[in-house]
Structure 1
Amino acid sequence: MSEKTSLDFLKQLNIGDVSQAVCTGQEWYGSQDNGQYDSYSPVDGKKIGSVRKASKADYEKLITTAEHGFDHWRRLPAPKRGEIVRQIGNKLREYKDPLGKLVAYEMGKSLQEGLGEVQEMIDICDFAVGLSRQLHGLTMHSERPNHRMYEQWHPVGLVGIISAFNFPVAVWSWNSMIAAVCGDVSIWKPSEKAPLSAVACFNVMQEVLKENQLPEGIFSLIVGDVPEIGETMISDRRLPLISATGSTRMGKRVGEVVGGRLGRSILELGGNNAIILTENADLKLAAPGIVFGAVGTCGQRCTSTRRLIIHESIYDKVKDMLVKAYSGLKIGSPLDESNHVGPLIDTDAVKAMQDAIQAAEKNGGTKVFGGDVLEGDGYESGCYVMPAIIEASNEMEIVQEETFAPILYLLKYSGSVNNAIALQNGVKQGLSSSVFTTDMRESEQFLAAWGSDCGIANVNIGTSGAEIGGAFGGEKDTGGGRESGSDSWKAYMRRQTNTINFGSELPLAQGIKFDI
């Protein structure tokens, strides 16, 4: 990618050399002497720009603004809130190309995936617009005469959003746009590894907020360190809900602190996702799902395929098929659409991958393919790797953990699909899962209550690529949270049960008598 091309999309998104740390949706400000994050692209190692770090004083000012914004925003009818979100979606459509390029360049995912991530933002806006007219409660029959019972849903308040680098913009939109139509305001702390993508989102969205003359603080952004900003957010009782995406270690900390103040948390944490290939699998159908699941985003999706559980009768055939497919992978700049795999986010991630491969081999695993760090022309950033295939066993400590890199562990099973399901479920994480089979009985076993224990269970598609219409999230060490579609909106609201007496007497429930 030429320097001229990089400046093109940065200028379109109004990204300068140094960006401020805080945005209220309309105003940018922040400490000038609290340090800054320098964002370097894993694509070519070049510096893209810098973002200043917010101080605690900046945070306090932002919270006050958000509280004032909430008081206004919750009074707007939900369909009118939906209209603002509709306009934001349309504005994202206008900037889809430059924003997708920035996501790809700053994070390292392919251009198609970068554009796809922006499309996710657009799609969730569309979903939220429809939702703004469907925030419904139930009506119930009262046991007392001349009484009516029903429930309604009210906004919960200020929502804190903590996102990870691998989806630097989409996860924010899943939370903020749903929260917005629910009547909440949001405060977003993005990953320090991809802060410019967040800055760009707010540069785009500002146009809508200003055109509609909305108060500040409905959508807010704050960039800062975990001790200074992240810990402050999760400890702050003024944020009744925290939605956090990241590692299981991080999620346990968030859950502990937020739970300690009896707040709510939506946790989207690690995955150790498996695809099961039964003896009845259609391998031609399965191949692209396996390879994309394992190497897409260079293995840096929470839904990336980590384990491939293969029936012994087709094991060797599948192994040969994968080695052939991996041998044809094109690795290089994600902005070159002919490439399949881009870089890891940074050299720390490269080291973590190398350490994982060594640990697997030390414990008896056999490297079948790849795993090397790539060097030479086009790989100057030091972040490019050859995706690895390793024969292993499910009991290995390293297989039990999530390594955020393109490592695919091959696991062999015999007997029925239930044995494969036991292997799949035999890890601490429970995000995404998949089975490839043409046998209806096997697929139904996989989907049964005694089948996959994951929040996402697919048949004849891979583990990654969830649509926004379904609730997204998982069980066990994945955190148990749900975002995006279905009825996930309820997490951003508080339920209220109402009983109205329209009679002239005051009967008590359960037939209790209390005469005075």
Structure 2
Amino acid sequence: MTDTLTTTTPLADDVRAALQACGVDLSVVGGDAQVASPITGEPLIGARLDTVADIDAAVGRAAEAFPAWRDTPAPLRGQLVKRWGELLTEHKEHLATLVTAEVGKTPSEARGEVQEMIDIADLAVGQSRQLFGKTMPSERPGHRLQEVWHPLGVVGVISAFNFPVAVYAWNTALALVCGDTVVWKPADAARLSAIAVDALLAKAVSEAGAPKGIHQLLLTDADGSRKLVEDPRVALVSATGSVRMGREVAPAVAARFGRTLLELGGNNGAIVAPSADLDLALRGVVFAAAGTAGQRCTTLRRLFVHSSVADQLTKRVVAAYESLAVGDPREDGVLVGPLVNQRSYEAQQAALAAAREQGGTVLAGGDRELADAHPDAYYVRPAVVSMPDQTAIVHEETFAPILYVMTYDDLGEAIALHNAVPQGLSSAIFTTDQGEAERFLSSAGSDCGIANVNIGTSGAEIGGAFGGEKETGGGRESGSDAWKAYMRPSTQTVNYSGQLPLAQGVTFI
């Protein structure tokens, strides 16, 4: 994949240096598909988009490389991922620079995202020696019954802008140790990060002597994504994005009997009980709701506060929001960077207008800032909105920093309100009452894939499986037994008895 510098501003110079440090060749002129920085709105580097023929060829290369990679012993596959992790560590600052430039994360958050890549590589290396099956007792004498896991095939990864590189690594590190090959379609807003990450993986592949075709990068648009989704050679499509996107991907893959791993909408909620440590709750709420300018899938968007502490906590949240430093994420002390583009800003403004119409009161934030200094960038102060109840707009996930605050009197009521939305990714309760905590974590409590006590909704660790229920899609990535999504189980029976007894006592001859 080739690309070219189209502007010589300092930000673009940083991007050029980071790309070159990661081994990307910028000498060949690329195309007109611009990547602009949400920090200033300026174009960074133009990239050549793949054609339909390019996409077909990329999937073909991955499919052709699969048999050789499938037959490579899993611990050797793990050594490739180990080397990739070492290169990611070596180039952590370069990759963080690209993430900040492309999606507007603060350097601290950008480094944290790259660290997630390093962490999942570490986990996957260990997993390469632990692709465990099972041995079950057979009812027939002289028989062995077992379950073995085999590589699945080509894995297509479609990632979103808000975590432009970490989610790819979650999928790819595991898919590679499981013996699969990978085709990646990154977010349009984050093509440069993808190019750098792919270059580092290519270096690891070369050094490890692995088949060259095991990873493929596609720089394409929505039509190109559709080609990847519909290709019968792609055994699994792992897609991160909106519920709308998931509604298109899931039936298209199902129509050809492929598999999907979906990470879709969040609309996450948290409950603050009367026993909560309010200092702890305040920090957890503000970081989860305002961090990354509200553009995480695990961002806190709904807050249910017990009526006995609602006024006190709400006032403290509003004060904290008003003190947040909003601006260029590269500047010291800035905690909230820009929205990714104008559409996100417009979506936020539309949601705030709807909230007002539905009886809500905007207590803080919501206004655009720094427009004179950066007319092509969209900085907003995170908004706190007091809602009389959970109205229609609260049921929708707006991918921008809006925190809806509501009150409750009974924990059962709060859990019911929390679970009433169609999304089911992450959830939290702040309480020092063990009974309340256990009730929230029970099957009668949170209906989300992630449930936390005394921490916010964001900040998942690599060791646990990540994903959610309902309209979130049901997928699981990262730790625990998420690796099984990238493999196929084979139930096997070995008869060493010399006889041919049938199961269930059936007689035939």
Q: Count matched residues.
A: 500
Match of 2:231 among 232, 236, 241: 236
Is 1:324 matched with 2:319? yes
Is 1:403 matched with 2:398? yes
Is 1:253 matched with 2:262? no
Is 1:509 matched with 2:482? no
Is 1:37 matched with 2:36? no
Match of 1:226 among 222, 226, 231: 222
Structure 2 distance, partners of 1:469, 1:15, is 31
Counterpart position of 1:469 = 463
Counterpart position of 1:364 = 359
Q: Name stretches of at least 5 consecutive residues in structure 1 with no aligned partner.
A: 21-31
Structure 1 distance, partners of 2:488, 2:15, is 45
SS in 1 for 2:189: coil
Structure 2 distance, partners of 1:264, 1:394, is 39
**Paired residue type of 2:462:** I
Structure 1 distance, partners of 2:25, 2:70, is 34
**Paired residue type of 1:136:** F
Match of 1:8 among 17, 27, 36: 17
Structure 2 distance, partners of 1:89, 1:8, is 21
Is 1:333 matched with 2:342? no
Is 1:306 matched with 2:301? yes
Structure 2 distance, partners of 1:108, 1:240, is 34
Is 1:179 matched with 2:188? no
Structure 1 distance, partners of 2:187, 2:54, is 18
Structure 1 distance, partners of 2:164, 2:158, is 10
Map 1:452-463 onto structure 2 (within 5 A). Answer: 452-463=446-457
C-alpha deviation, 1:510, in angstroms: 1.1
C-alpha deviation, 1:213, in angstroms: 2.6
SS in 2 for 1:144: coil
C-alpha deviation, 1:14, in angstroms: 4.6
Contact kept in structure 2, 1:429 and 1:478, CA below 8 Å: yes
Counterpart position of 1:419 = 413
- Give the TM-score, by structure 2 length: 0.96
Q: Which moved more, 1:373-382 or 1:350-359?
A: 373-382
Counterpart position of 1:27 = none
Contact kept in structure 2, 1:19 and 1:52, CA below 8 Å: no
Counterpart position of 2:48 = 52
Counterpart position of 1:447 = 441
Counterpart position of 2:4 = none
C-alpha deviation, 1:58, in angstroms: 0.6
Match of 2:339 among 339, 344, 354: 344
Match of 1:433 among 416, 427, 452: 427
Structure 1 distance, partners of 2:300, 2:25, is 37
C-alpha deviation, 1:7, in angstroms: 4.1
**Paired residue type of 1:298:** A
Counterpart position of 1:170 = 166
Contact kept in structure 1, 2:81 and 2:173, CA below 8 Å: yes
Counterpart position of 1:188 = 184
SS in 1 for 2:188: coil
Structure 1 distance, partners of 2:36, 2:377, is 12
Cα pair distance change 1:358/1:178, threshold 3 Å: same
Match of 2:196 among 179, 193, 200: 200
C-alpha deviation, 1:216, in angstroms: 1.7
SS in 2 for 1:240: strand
Contact kept in structure 2, 1:251 and 1:269, CA below 8 Å: yes
Structure 1 distance, partners of 2:355, 2:28, is 42
Is 1:278 matched with 2:278? no
C-alpha deviation, 1:230, in angstroms: 1.0
Contact kept in structure 1, 2:23 and 2:196, CA below 8 Å: yes
SS in 1 for 2:379: coil
Q: Which moved more, 1:458-467 or 1:44-53?
A: 44-53
Counterpart position of 2:135 = 139
Contact kept in structure 2, 1:271 and 1:429, CA below 8 Å: yes
Counterpart position of 1:156 = 152
Cα pair distance change 1:211/1:356, threshold 3 Å: same
Counterpart position of 2:287 = 292
Structure 1 distance, partners of 2:389, 2:28, is 46
Structure 1 distance, partners of 2:387, 2:26, is 47
Is 1:94 matched with 2:90? yes
C-alpha deviation, 1:16, in angstroms: 6.4
| Deviation digits for residues 384-419 of structure 1 (CA, Å, limit 9, x no counterpart) | 1111011114432111100000000011111x2111
| Deviation digits for residues 51-79 of structure 1 (CA, Å, limit 9, x no counterpart) | 11111111121122111211110111100
Cα pair distance change 1:154/1:137, threshold 3 Å: same
Cα pair distance change 1:346/1:19, threshold 3 Å: farther
| Deviation digits for residues 354-373 of structure 1 (CA, Å, limit 9, x no counterpart) | 11111111111101001001
Contact kept in structure 2, 1:273 and 1:430, CA below 8 Å: yes
C-alpha deviation, 1:5, in angstroms: 4.1
Contact kept in structure 2, 1:332 and 1:378, CA below 8 Å: no
Match of 2:77 among 70, 78, 81: 81
Structure 1 distance, partners of 2:492, 2:28, is 48
C-alpha deviation, 1:382, in angstroms: 2.7
Contact kept in structure 2, 1:19 and 1:199, CA below 8 Å: no
Contact kept in structure 1, 2:390 and 2:406, CA below 8 Å: no
Contact kept in structure 2, 1:374 and 1:382, CA below 8 Å: no
> Structure 1 vs Structure 2: percent identity of aligned residues?
50
**Paired residue type of 2:506:** I
Structure 2 distance, partners of 1:322, 1:90, is 41
Cα pair distance change 1:69/1:6, threshold 3 Å: closer
**Paired residue type of 1:50:** G
C-alpha deviation, 1:10, in angstroms: 3.7
| Deviation digits for residues 98-157 of structure 1 (CA, Å, limit 9, x no counterpart) | 101110110011111100010000000000000000001110111111111111000110
C-alpha deviation, 1:214, in angstroms: 2.2
| Deviation digits for residues 268-301 of structure 1 (CA, Å, limit 9, x no counterpart) | 0000101100111101111111001111110000
Cα pair distance change 1:226/1:7, threshold 3 Å: closer
Counterpart position of 2:5 = none
Contact kept in structure 1, 2:59 and 2:234, CA below 8 Å: no
C-alpha deviation, 1:11, in angstroms: 3.3
C-alpha deviation, 1:323, in angstroms: 1.3
